[in-house]
Amino acid sequence: MEKPQQKLVISEKDILHKIKELANKIDNDFNEEPVVFIGTLKGAFMFLSDLVKHIKNPNVEVDFVRVKSYGLSDKSSGNVELVKDLELPVEGKNVIIVEDIVDTGLTLKFLYERIKELNPKTLKVCALINKKERREVDVPVDYIGFEVEKGFLVGYGLDFAERYRHLSEVYEVVKDE
Ligand code: 5GP
């Protein structure tokens, strides 16, 4: 399989181990109460899919949103737009936003506030990767897979110009010297 110029950051084994831990925590917090998992397309598709497979709660629903941030740099501009909205009603329900990676926090803040307006019973955030170096706004992340300081990551849902999403591990793209 072709790989980018890269350094392995999180292995498939570590991802799976962490997902089981997160799923356990979520099951302990909600037991059999209904929970709606909302994945953010496209980056969180693989994480959401693996996460819900390990949830034992029988009362689970899954939905997706797609959020786009416009700007010229590789960094979130804060001009965030909802390209695909929720399809399931979430009023009065327990909702967990499932994000691939939180960087500046601007995308998640936008989504959090948008879903909060729909009056869910509870609203939590689960992120595979919390990348803290460029955080600009405070956003609550209740379930965190991995803390990473910096770097541009690809694989396991994360892309570089739409490539590498299918890789089962997370890599940092290393620039040629
Ligand atoms: P934020 O609004 O928190 O700055 O950015 C969140 C979004 O930016 C993520 O959902 C993801 O799509 C993208 N993003 C942030 N950091 C990375 C990264 O290291 N690699 C990739 N592929 N996307 C990233």
User: What string of pLDDT tens digits covers the 177 residues of the chain?
Assistant: 455 578 999 999 999 999 999 999 999 999 999 999 999 999 999 999 999 999 999 999 999 999 987 665 666 666 888 999 999 999 999 999 999 999 999 999 999 999 999 999 999 999 999 998 888 999 999 999 999 998 999 999 999 999 999 999 999 998 765
* Distance separating alpha carbons of residues 85 and 87, to the nearest angstrom: 6
Would residue 151 be called left, alpha or beta, if left means φ above 0 and alpha means ψ between -120 and 50 degrees? left
Ligand 1 binding pocket includes 43 (Cβ within 6 Å):
yes
What's the domain range around 121?
11-152
| Residue-level pLDDT at 177 | 56
Q: Quick one: DSSP state of residue 103? A: S
In this structure, are residues 92 and 67 in contact, taking their beta carbons and an 8 Å threshold?
A: no
**Which of 45, 76, 132, 165 to mutate for ligand 1's pocket (most ligand atoms within 8 Å of CB)?**
76
Across the beta sheet with 60-70, what order do the strands follow?
Answer: 79-84, 60-70, 35-41, 94-102, 122-131, 143-148
| Residue-level pLDDT at 79 | 81
pLDDT tens-digit readout, 79-129: 888 999 999 999 999 999 999 999 999 999 999 999 999 999 999 999 999
Ligand 1 binding pocket includes 106 (Cβ within 6 Å):
yes
Q: What's the gap in Å between 103 CA and the centre of ligand 1?
A: 6
Antiparallel, parallel or unpaired: β 170-173 and 6-10: antiparallel
Ligand 1 binding pocket includes 6 (Cβ within 6 Å):
no
Would residue 159 be called left, alpha or beta, if left means φ above 0 and alpha means ψ between -120 and 50 degrees? beta
Q: What's the gap in Å between 117 CA and the centre of ligand 1?
A: 24
The model's pTM? 0.94
Q: Is residue 85 part of a domain?
A: yes
Q: Is residue 148 part of a domain?
A: yes
Q: Is residue 21 part of a domain?
A: yes
| Residue-level pLDDT at 5 | 73
List the CATH number of the domain containing 132: 3.40.50.2020
Count of domains observed in the chain: 1
Q: Is residue 60 part of a domain?
A: yes
Q: What's the gap in Å between 62 CA and the centre of ligand 1?
A: 22
* Distance separating alpha carbons of residues 112 and 96, to the nearest angstrom: 10
Ligand 1 binding pocket includes 80 (Cβ within 6 Å):
no
Q: Is residue 157 part of a domain?
A: no
